[in-house]
Amino acid sequence: MPELPEVETVRRGLAPSMEGQVIAKAEVNRPDLRWPFPDNMADRLTGAKVTALRRRSKYVLADLDTGETLIIHLGMSGRMTVSGDPLGQFHHDHPAPEKHDHVVFHMGNGARITFNDPRRFGAMDLAVTDALEDHWLINTIGPEPLGNGFNEDYLTAKLASKNTPIKTALLDQRIVAGLGNIYVCEVLHRARINPKRKAGALSKSRVARIVPIVRDVLAEAIAAGGSSLRDYRQADGELGYFQHAFQAYDRDGQPCQTPGCTSTIARIVQSGRSTFYCPKCQR
């Protein structure tokens, strides 16, 4: 599932073709994805101007001049790609429609934004912009890890009473927004923290170490266009390439890249998800 860097990369790729532009026509080609689409979604979007394109956690948010915000989740295999961009940032013309093109936005500037999702775990909804923070998909999400609300004091306080493994705690979207399996594995490896350690048992200094490393890992991943392992693509259809910089994730059996370490990366399962870490470096 795309995590914060992938969603932010998609948002940035869509912005030149969507922000400030009118959705001349919205096509909705099925009644649902993971959940049913909102009533009359095509009609509510057609003619609306996108005033801003934002991200909250793993959601792309398109604010409209109608007073509503379109909430977009890519799910497991969802892609949003741009074609026919009049700004010349994308090299391909409009492709032929594909089987899993479930929602298509024909923009007033000639661009076409296509949401393709073979596995249909993605989702879209419309919410009143002024009440967006009360929406059920948004209202329990913690602070953005790249924002000021995510800091050492905040994280220390949130983890103090947690009896869950630190890996599980950092995946909890109520604690911090947007982190998923890939980037938590990478963060904990760089922080030299064993993913099995109880979150509440970590010293304040070790928790403090996590915050800047989270920011660094996410910033590097965004600069690399995210990580493409299976289905993820950027808005221009290109792959991300942060997967080539992984130090832990999906490297089980390979040498640990920590200087001087002679161990290998191990894989365990936590809460049904694979965890990759170095048993020697991460304590």
Secondary structure of residue 25 in the 3-state scheme: strand
> Is 145 in the active site?
no
- What lies within 8 Å, CB to CB, of 78 at 6+ separation is 2, 115, 116, 117, 121, 122, 231
- State the number of CA atoms in the 13 A half-sphere of 63 facing the CB: 12
Contact 82/113 with Cβ under 8 angstroms?
A: yes
> Is 144 in the active site?
no
Catalytic residue among 3, 6, 68, 186: 3
At 28, the amino acid letter reads V
Q: Would the CA dihedral through 189, 194, 197, 202 be positive or negative?
A: negative
Catalytic residue among 2, 5, 16, 145: 2
- State the number of CA atoms in the 13 A half-sphere of 96 facing the CB: 1
Q: Would the CA dihedral through 203, 204, 209, 215 be positive or negative?
A: positive
Catalytic residue among 58, 79, 190, 233: 58
- State the number of CA atoms in the 13 A half-sphere of 55 facing the CB: 23
Catalytic residue among 44, 196, 197, 273: 273
Beta 79-83 vs 112-116: how paired, if at all? Answer: antiparallel
> Is 3 in the active site?
yes
Helix, strand, coil shares, percent, the chain, to 5 = 30, 25, 50
User: Angle formed by the axes of helices 204-223 and 181-191, to 10°?
Assistant: 130
> Is 58 in the active site?
yes
Sheet of 101-107, strands arranged across: 23-28, 101-107, 112-116, 79-83
Q: Return d(Cα 165, Cα 271) in angstroms, integer.
A: 10
Residues noted as catalytic: 2-3, 58, 273
